Structures are given as C-alpha cells and as structure tokens.
Amino acid sequence: MKRFSFYLLISLLTFTTLKAQDFSTSHNTLLGLSVTVSDEVVNRLDRYEVETDRERDLMQRYDDTMNYRMQRLVQEPLFALMEEQGISLQPSDALRDFVNYGNDNMPSYLFPKQAIRKILNRGYETDYFFQIKISIEANSLMAGLMERVKPKITCTIKVFDAERDVVKEVQYQYVAADHIKETQFPGIRFDKLGLDYREMLLDRLDPMLMEAIVETMGEW
C-alpha cells in the first residue's frame, strides 16, 4: 500500500509539473509543423482508382501541394494563438544550419528525439522544442453509398525539453458537423485529379481547420 501511495504521489507531482510548465520566458524552437490530408478524404469524394503512372504521379503531386498549402494556411493563425498564450517560437528556419529541411520548409526527420540529439550535439541551444502535427481524416470507416466525407481533424502539440523528454502534450479532435458531398462541387462530380477541385476542397476544410486549432489552444 505504501509503495502504491508513493507511485501515486510521484504521478501527481509529474502531472502538476506538466500543467504548471511556463513557456513564456523560455527559448522555444519549432521542431516541425505538418498538416496531412488522408487519401481517404479525397477517395470518399471520388472513388475512381488511379491506373497509370501519370495519374499516380499527379495524385502524389496534388496531395503534397494540398498538404503544403494547408500547412501555410494554418501557420500564421496558429502562431498568433500561441503568442496569446505567451508562447513565442523562434523563426521556422532557425534549425537550418543544424538539420536538413524538406520541401515544406520544415525540419526533415523520422524520430523527434534523435533529431533533437543531433541538433544539440551540433551546438544549437534552446529550452524547448515544439512539434506540431495536424491530420485530416475521414471520421468513419464506412463509406456508404454516397460520395461524401465527414472530416475529422486531430491536432497534437508535443513539447520536448533539452533532455528529449516530453514535458507537455495537448491533443484535440474536431469532427465536422456535416458531410462534405460531391454534389457541393461544380460539374458532374468531384475530380481528385483536378487541381481546381483540390482548391475548392481546401476552401471547405479551411474553417474547420481554424476551429480545430482554436479549440486545441483552448486546451493548452
């Protein structure tokens, strides 16, 4: 019983420390910001299966473009919300001399803790690293008979210290109230191989994404 009470006390102290962590006076570095749209989102609106290498290349290019556009779309308002919470981040290119960057102009790595170790070993100094991931998926596994999708947005913010420990993590899931339907797009149907249709889908996802990041920072 004493051993259980001891571990309970340690857990409560750890939880209190995480909740009380103050980032307003610390040096904070962005380890990465990614926004990814699941293939299932566009596949629910257009069930055509790509067949040729050209179509597959086109799909990949449009997927990458859409992810990058959404990342750029969310970056400024998200950082503004963080500023309201007293969290100032270093410029997104602060790590450019310490780690490789991807086509999305963000640090490129597989595992955050390994990346942090490499960055610190190369002489970079900071108090905390912020990793932000936003995923947009189809809410249900059942596609149904209609070409439609109800987006689910998951926002996760992890904060690592210089010892590579996670000192704070916030996650919020937003589920759209209504489906996005193929009939809401001009023409006969939504065309996932049409860049203009991707742009229109982005316009529909935009307000949902904004609401999701507001709620995420509300959980901070």
The pTM score is: 0.85
Q: What is the pLDDT of residue 80?
A: 95
Decide if 75 is inside a domain: yes
pLDDT tens digit sequence for 52-64: 999 999 999 999 9
Three-state DSSP string of the chain: CHHHHHHHHHHHHHHHHHHHCCCCCCCEEEEEEEEEECHHHHHHHCCCCCCCHHHHHHHHHHHHHHHHHHHHHHHHHHHHHHHHCCCCECCCCCCCCCCCECCCCCECCCCHHHHHHHHHHCCCCCCEEEEEEEEEEECCCCCCCCCEECEEEEEEEEEEECCCCEEEEEEEEEECCCCEEHHHCCCCCCCCCCHHHHHHHHHHHHHHHHHHHHHHHHCC
- Number of structural domains (the chain) is 1
**What is the span of the domain harbouring residue 39?**
24-218
pLDDT tens digit sequence for 173-191: 999 999 999 889 988 789 9
Which residue ranges of the chain lie beneath pLDDT 70?
A: 1-20, 141-146
Decide if 174 is inside a domain: yes
Decide if 28 is inside a domain: yes
Q: What is the pLDDT of residue 110?
A: 87
